[in-house]
């Protein structure tokens, strides 16, 4: 659900970042390819940030609360 939600937020021109476990940071992809059953096309999610330190959420003036239960945060550009 996180990648799909991130795709729609990016379509609305919002900045998106993923909070991942430190061990997975290096393996995080630069983009995701998403297949749409609605139009039969492949769409790309790119231009998102990835970080492993929850305290990094504090750098934006508006952001979602980061906690262990959140997989993604978002902010206005």
Structure confidence by residue, pLDDT tens digits, 24-55: 999 999 999 999 999 999 999 999 999 898 87
Note the pLDDT of residue 53: 85
Q: State the chain's mean pLDDT as an integer.
A: 79
pTM over 0.85: no
The answer to which of 1-5, 7-11, 55-59 has the lowest mean pLDDT is 55-59
With bands split at pLDDT 50, 70 and 90, how would you rate the model's confidence at 70?
very low
d(CA 66, CA 33): 26
**Short-list 73, 7, 70, CA closest to 38:** 7
Q: Tell how strand 15-19 and strand 72-75 pair up.
A: antiparallel
What the block records as the tokens of 37 is: 């059953």
């Amino acid at each position: 659900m996180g990648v799909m939600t991130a795709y729609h937020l990016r379509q609305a021109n919002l900045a998106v970042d993923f909070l991942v476990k430190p061990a997975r940071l290096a393996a995080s992809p630069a983009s995701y390819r998403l297949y749409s059953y609605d139009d039969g096309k492949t769409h790309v999610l790119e231009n998102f940030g990835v970080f492993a330190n929850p305290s990094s959420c504090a750098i934006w003036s508006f952001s979602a609360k980061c906690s262990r239960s959140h997989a993604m945060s978002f902010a206005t550009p």
